């Protein structure tokens, strides 16, 4: 028995039906109609578009963690917690830790609001402590109160590609590396996001932000090429918003040459793309920097505000 799944989409229903007929002539397949559940992701049609959620998968994670009756938390990570590699006793069941954290990673496909916290606990997979497990439980407690939340894909008149990029400089107390993150939007819908620790130590906040800017640029260039292959891309330039003036200026002109000679050459490709007018880096204030939610733990009010901008919410009421 061979089992697999495929989604077909397009703006020509006749052509889609013809393709399904051709596939059926070569393979034994079943046409399940409009998508409603695919690879653990539930798809619900709304008045404004689609909602992608992993409600059943979330409940399963809570059950596997043994926390079905736990009290809900208002955020996946506390803004006052500081985790270290060896600041606590070793957790008694590291296999369980890795299983739950691995499951949480798959949940970030529709839940950008937990990306930062999940990235944080992933850094301690090899030797988790009781303190690290406490953060995992905090994430699960947050999910307990938001099990029905998902990503809204909304219709809109604008389909412009734009992004946000941010970094938290030297935030890791173990190795002083920075956390970088980005959000890429197509119109009003987030289509790509990432939160991760940078590979090298940045000697300034400008360098950390510039490295995050380079990662964002790489992702945007790939998305632009994909949209072009689909004959879908029209904007000649993609706006990328950064809340660090030094990195913003550096993307246009190496005015801080004396202070950036140590920055790896491969990060400077951002300036080449700006010169080619494929990317335009614009400054944005920190309170409007949506990528903040991917790089640091936030107070409740800020977290709730940024989560709404990610369009991660509960299903609209009938």
Q: Which domains does the chain have, with CATH numbers?
A: 36-155+298-318 (no CATH), 158-284 (3.30.420.10)
What is residue 185's predicted lDDT score, i.e. its pLDDT? Answer: 94
pLDDT interval class at 259 (50, 70, 90) = low
How many angstroms separate the Cα of 153 from the Cα of each of 49, 186, 189? 6, 10, 6
pLDDT interval class at 137 (50, 70, 90) = very high
pTM over 0.85: yes
Mean pLDDT of 293-316: 90
Residues in CB range of 123: below 8 A, 6 or more apart: 172, 197
Residue-level length of the chain: 318
Secondary structure (3-state) at 213 = helix
Give dist(CA 205, CA 98) in Å, integer.
Answer: 32
Q: What residues does 186 pair with on adjacent strands?
A: 161, 189
Give dist(CA 14, CA 34) in Å, integer.
Answer: 15
pLDDT interval class at 236 (50, 70, 90) = confident
Give dist(CA 212, CA 69) in Å, integer.
Answer: 39
What is residue 118's predicted lDDT score, i.e. its pLDDT? Answer: 96
In percent, how much of the chain has pLDDT > 70?
95
Residues in CB range of 160: below 8 A, 6 or more apart: 186, 187, 235, 239
The predicted-structure confidence for 180-217, as pLDDT tens digits, reads as follows 999 999 988 999 999 999 988 998 898 999 999 999 99
Contacts 24+ apart (CB under 8 A), 186-189: 186/159, 186/160, 186/161, 186/223, 187/154, 187/156, 187/158, 187/159, 187/160, 188/154, 188/156, 188/158, 188/311, 189/49, 189/151, 189/152, 189/153, 189/154, 189/156, 189/311
Mean pLDDT of 41-45: 92
pLDDT of 64 strictly over 80: yes
What is residue 255's predicted lDDT score, i.e. its pLDDT? Answer: 64
Dig out the tokens for 44 from the structure.
């619900």
Among residues 218, 21, 193, 17, the alpha carbon closest in space to that of 119 is found at 193
pLDDT interval class at 29 (50, 70, 90) = confident
pLDDT of 318 strictly over 60: no
CB 67 within 8 A of CB 142: no
Average pLDDT, the chain: 89
Mean pLDDT of 276-300: 92
Strands 238-242 and 161-168: parallel
What is residue 254's predicted lDDT score, i.e. its pLDDT? Answer: 65
Dig out the tokens for 285 from the structure.
């204030």
More confident residue, 51 or 28: 51
pLDDT interval class at 172 (50, 70, 90) = confident
What is residue 86's predicted lDDT score, i.e. its pLDDT? Answer: 77
Most confident of 40-54, 135-149, 295-309: 135-149
């Amino acid at each position: 028995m061979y089992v697999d799944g495929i989604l077909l989409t397009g703006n020509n229903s006749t052509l889609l039906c013809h393709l399904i007929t051709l596939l059926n002539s070569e393979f034994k397949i079943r046409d399940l109609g409009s998508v409603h559940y695919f690879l653990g992701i539930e798809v619900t049609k709304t008045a404004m578009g689609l909602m992608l959620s992993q409600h059943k998968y979330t409940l399963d994670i809570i059950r596997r963690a043994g926390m079905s009756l736990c009290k809900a938390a208002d955020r996946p990570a506390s803004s006052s917690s500081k985790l270290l590699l060896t600041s606590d006793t070793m957790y008694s069941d590291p296999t369980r830790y890795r299983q739950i954290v691995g499951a949480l990673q798959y949940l970030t496909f529709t839940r950008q609001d937990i990306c930062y916290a999940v990235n944080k606990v992933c850094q301690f997979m090899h030797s988790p402590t009781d303190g690290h497990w406490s953060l995992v439980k905090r994430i699960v407690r947050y999910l307990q109160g938001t099990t029905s939340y998902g990503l809204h894909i909304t219709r809109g008149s604008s389909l412009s590609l734009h992004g946000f990029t941010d970094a938290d400089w030297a935030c890791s107390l173990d190795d002083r590396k920075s956390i970088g993150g980005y959000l890429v939007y197509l119109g009003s819908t987030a289509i790509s996001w990432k939160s991760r620790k940078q590979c090298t130590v940045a000697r300034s906040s400008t360098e950390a932000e510039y490295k995050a800017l380079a990662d964002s640029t790489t992702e945007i260039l790939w998305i632009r090429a994909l949209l072009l292959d689909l004959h879908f891309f029209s904007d000649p330039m993609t706006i990328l918003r950064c809340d660090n003036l030094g990195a913003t200026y550096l993307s246009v002109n190496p005015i801080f040459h004396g202070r950036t000679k140590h920055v790896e050459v491969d990060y400077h490709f951002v300036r080449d793309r700006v010169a080619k007018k494929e990317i335009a880096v614009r400054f944005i204030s920190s309170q409007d920097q949506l990528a903040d939610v991917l790089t640091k733990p936030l107070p409740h009010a800020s977290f709730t505000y940024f989560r709404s901008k990610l369009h991660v919410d509960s299903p609209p009421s009938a």
